[in-house]
Amino acid sequence: MRTSTSPNGVLIVVALVAIGCRKTEYVDNNGAAIDEVETEVDTPEPMERTPLLPAGEVAGTTIVPTLDSPLENSGNAIWCATFQVAWNYACNDVGGGPLEVAGAEQVAKRLNDSPVTEATLPPGSYYAVAGATDEGVVEEIHQQMAKRFPDVEPPAFQGAQGLVAYAYLRAAAKFTTPFEKRTYPIEFTNAAGETVDVEGFCLYSGHDEEITHDQLSQVKVLFRESTDNPKSRRLTTFALDLTADQEETQVIVAVLPHADNLQAVLDNLEERTKAYKGKIRVSGADRLGIPNVLFHLKESFQQLTGPDKLIKNSEKLAGLFVDQAWQMIRFQLDESGAIVESEAALATAAEAAYEEQNVDYIADRPFLVVMKRRGEKYPYFVGWFGNAELLEVRGK
């Protein structure tokens, strides 16, 4: 795997399976229907409503449709599984197989070749469907969302003709023992060498031994590598599991080198974790610093849309082009945990329309945030934060 020579980054991986109860419909990897089952889930409460910004208005940030989409050297890259799930439904339930799109062959191939399926999503945390407009799929979306996520208003899909595919996700990873809000800011240095003071969270600094014990018990070192200076607290790379006390939910924070795409960063994390044989535990004398993240963005995948983006290989969708291909992602990470909400849609229209030295686990460099189910290979949310425009800047 080739990586760039840019500064180290930080990888924060969040995985969760929630607990509660809801009836949910599923299909298997081939799109075949599975009988309705009752699943134990606890859908998170709606997130605080932050202003929605088009991703294009946040210059250093891009929402990418696939994990193997190229990464910019100094920017942020965000990914969530909802668009992939919507695409999969479109292919399996309407298109009759992988969809080929004229003028967008490369991105369509990446989507078709992706191994990500809805199995990456926590059961009961999402709704996904695809269907034909003349068979009432838009009405079905509105009816089902009103039942499952009544506080959400799905899109109207104006002008859609032929195919509509839709996916919505709301999932959370809550720390069993909340971390502590940092008194002092984290001096976050982006890939371009610019430093910004950002808010973040840390280990408990009080004198209650029970809180200290509980908090340290939930943190596990997955790997760490030190600098050549044995007296230095600074680590060159590290990975922490912040929810090691939870059977099904996983939150990982890791400092890693920048790579060509998000999948390469995830591969690097997996390789280093498997290779590490140390048995170090985080102690109360170590320092922790993870930046707070808060954003609400929407991306229109223009490389997939337009009158020239005709569906080439589906008899059912002959003469139709991809008119809508977009994704909304709202994400929050702080001392209490992480929560993600995402919505994605695809629609067609007619052609005419670190060992013993105490160390610092400080995420003060570019970092990646991923949410995934423990035990699943692929995540359902990934974000590379190479600059501070989506972080909680001190004083703002």
List the chain domain ranges.
23-37+80-173+298-350
Of 56, 59, 60, 64, the C-alpha closest to 74 is 60
pLDDT at 250: 82
Element containing residue 28 per DSSP (H, E): none
List phi, psi (to 5°) of 110: -60, -40
What's the sign of the alpha-carbon dihedral 76, 82, 88, 91? Answer: negative
Residue 299, classed as helix, strand or coil, is strand
Low-confidence ranges of the chain (pLDDT < 50): 1-8, 10-41, 353-355
pLDDT at 391: 92
Residue-wise pLDDT for 311-334, tens only, equals 998 888 988 999 999 999 999 999
Bridge partners of 320? Answer: 350
Residue 304, classed as helix, strand or coil, is helix
Q: How many CB atoms lie within 10 A of CB 129?
A: 20
Burial class of 110 by CB neighbour count within 10 A (0 to 12, 13 to 18, 19+):
middle
Residue 24 in tokens: 């949910």
**Cβ-contact 200, 289 below 8 angstroms:** yes
Q: Which residue has the tokens 């080739």?
A: 2
| Calpha distance 196→292 (Å, rounded) | 13
pLDDT at 29: 35
Could you say which DSSP state residue 154 is in?
A: -
Pairing of strands 360-362, 287-291: parallel
Residue 271 in tokens: 């390789």
Of 363, 390, 370, the C-alpha closest to 296 is 390
pTM over 0.85: no
Contacts 24+ apart (CB under 8 A), 299-304: 299/54, 299/55, 299/56, 299/62, 299/63, 299/326, 299/327, 299/329, 300/54, 300/325, 300/326, 301/65, 301/83, 301/107, 301/325, 301/326, 301/327, 303/104, 303/107, 304/65, 304/101, 304/104, 304/107, 304/108
Residue 355, classed as helix, strand or coil, is coil
Residue-wise pLDDT for 90-104, tens only, equals 999 999 999 999 999
